[in-house]
């Protein structure tokens, strides 16, 4: 079976005004199958947002290939891009700016159906009502404006709009990062329900490892434009193979004082280098506690270790968890 999303050697460089280009994404490969949710995690500037923008053609790839439901995104003309966007929809981070403040939420949710000529008039109103119900809102909300809703409700509206076209692929870019904890749980529950009720593939982009673990089947970790580890959820969280993945997991503060204080403290030293001047060899070597001379010279190749794919010269030397 063909994957819903296939990203192959994706490269996105942004030209800088002065100096070398910013290498936002530098050779990223993964696929997402039907009904599967892939988490894409990493810190700010690692390129995870650029990957999702490239998938729907909001930024142009410099190299590599992206296929959504078999259609190549790179070099797609306007018509094809519009087709692709019918298959792949996005939920953004900030619900406050994801909705046009001068448009009723009914019009916002119905817009994909209306502009594509899929529904109008009474039928459109009914489809909008059904979508509102599906995300836990009421049909009579359709005539209200975004400012009349709370943050969590707005994110529900954004999800309803993304579902309007019954997409094959849903991209969620930090969908719960702007929400308070109590509201975040509501949206995560909704998301898990939707995973079960829709046969969609999902790419879930987030910096929050606990959230990613909660909703994803497989997880890809990015650092400085590179994919450094890709593994099924349980493998990644129980036996992380890449030193960066381990450091990231160690750095997440667990909301449990006993657990958190018992954790070994191995904070990463230093700062993330500039993506305009990434280090030679393995991009992580400047902060890696395990780095050896070899790491500074040679970019590590992709290797399979059990179910995990990892790019690290010393991946086998994983310390026992």
Residues 172-231 that bind another protein (CB under 8 A): 180-186, 188-189, 192, 195, 207, 209-211, 213-216
**Cα distance between residue 86 and residue 162, in whole Å:** 10
**Residue from 38, 27, 84 nearest 61 by CA:** 27
Computed over its alpha carbons, how large is the radius of gyration of the chain?
21
Between residue 66 and residue 105, which ones bind another protein under the rule CB under 8 A? 82, 85-86, 89-90, 92-94, 97-103
What minimum distance in Å lies between the beta carbon of 237 and another protein?
A: 6
Kindly state the smallest distance separating residue 82's Cβ from another protein, in Å: 5
Contact at 8 Å (CB) between 299 and 26? no
How far apart (Å, rounded) are the C-alpha atoms in residues 131 and 261? 45
Identify whether the C-beta of residue 140 lies closer than 8 Å to the C-beta of residue 104: no
Cα–Cα distance for residue pair 223/310, rounded to 1 Å: 12
Q: Of these, 237, 276, 303, 314, which contacts another protein (CB under 8 A)? A: 237
Q: Is 173 in contact with 93 (CB distance < 8 Å)?
A: yes
Residue 263 tokens, joined: 């954790």
User: What single DSSP character describes residue 311?
Assistant: -
User: Could you say which residues in the range 273-312 bind another protein, by CB under 8 A?
Assistant: none
Q: Which stretch binds another protein (CB under 8 A): 8-16, 255-263, 276-284, 288-296?
A: 255-263
For residue 143, state whether it binds another protein (rule: CB under 8 A): no
Residue closer to another protein by CB (options 190, 299) is: 190
Helices H / strands E in the chain, number of each:
11, 12
Q: Is 150 a binder of another protein (CB under 8 A)?
A: yes
Q: How far is the CB of 307 from another protein (least distance, A)?
A: 16
# residues contacting another protein (CB under 8 A): 75
Residues 16-55 that bind another protein (CB under 8 A): 18, 43-44
- Can you tell me which of 55, 202, 224, 248 binds another protein, judged by CB under 8 A? 248
Nearer to another protein, 259 or 297 (CB): 259
C-beta closer to another protein: residue 85 or 242: 85
Calpha distance 149→137 (Å, rounded): 11
Tokens of 185: 């749980």
Confirm or reject binding of residue 255 to another protein (CB under 8 A).
yes
Tell me the window of 20-28, 111-119, 304-312, 313-321 that interacts with another protein (CB under 8 A).
Answer: 111-119
- Minimal distance in Å, beta carbon 282 to another protein? 17
Contact between 302 and 241 under an 8 Å Cβ cutoff? The reply is: no
Nearest in space to 234 (alpha carbons), one of 220, 215, 217, 222: 217
């Amino acid at each position: 079976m063909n994957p819903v999303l296939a990203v192959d050697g994706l490269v996105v460089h942004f030209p800088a005004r002065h100096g070398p280009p910013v290498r936002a994404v530098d050779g990223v490969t993964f696929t997402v199958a039907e009904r599967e949710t892939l988490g894409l995690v990493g810190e700010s500037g690692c390129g995870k947002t650029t990957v999702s923008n490239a998938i729907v053609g909001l930024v142009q790839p410099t190299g590599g290939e992206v296929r959504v439901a078999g259609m190549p995104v790179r070099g797609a003309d306007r018509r094809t891009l519009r087709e692709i966007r019918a298959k792949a929809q996005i939920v953004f981070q900030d619900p406050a700016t994801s909705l046009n403040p001068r448009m009723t939420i009914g019009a916002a949710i119905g817009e994909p159906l209306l502009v594509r000529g899929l529904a109008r008039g009474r039928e459109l109103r009914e489809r909008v009502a059904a979508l509102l119900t599906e995300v836990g809102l009421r049909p009579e909300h359709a005539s209200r404006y975004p400012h009349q809703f709370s943050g969590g409700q707005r994110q529900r509206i954004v999800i309803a709009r993304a579902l309007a076209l019954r997409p094959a692929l849903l991209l969620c870019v930090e969908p719960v990062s702007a929400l308070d904890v109590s509201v975040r749980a509501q949206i995560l529950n909704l998301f898990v329900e939707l995973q079960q009720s829709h046969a969609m593939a999902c790419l879930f982009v987030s910096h929050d490892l606990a959230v990613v673990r909660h909703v994803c089947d497989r997880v890809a970790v990015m650092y400085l434009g590179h994919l450094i580890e890709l593994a099924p959820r349980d493998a990644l969280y129980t036996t992380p193979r890449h030193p960066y993945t381990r450091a990231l997991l160690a750095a997440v503060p667990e909301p449990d004082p006993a657990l958190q204080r018992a954790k070994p403290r191995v904070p990463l030293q230093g700062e993330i280098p500039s993506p305009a001047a990434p280090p030679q060899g393995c991009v992580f070597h400047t902060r890696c506690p395990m780095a050896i001379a070899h790491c500074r010279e040679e970019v590590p190749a992709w290797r399979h270790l059990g179910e995990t794919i990892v790019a690290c010269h010393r991946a086998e030397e994983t310390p026992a968890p």
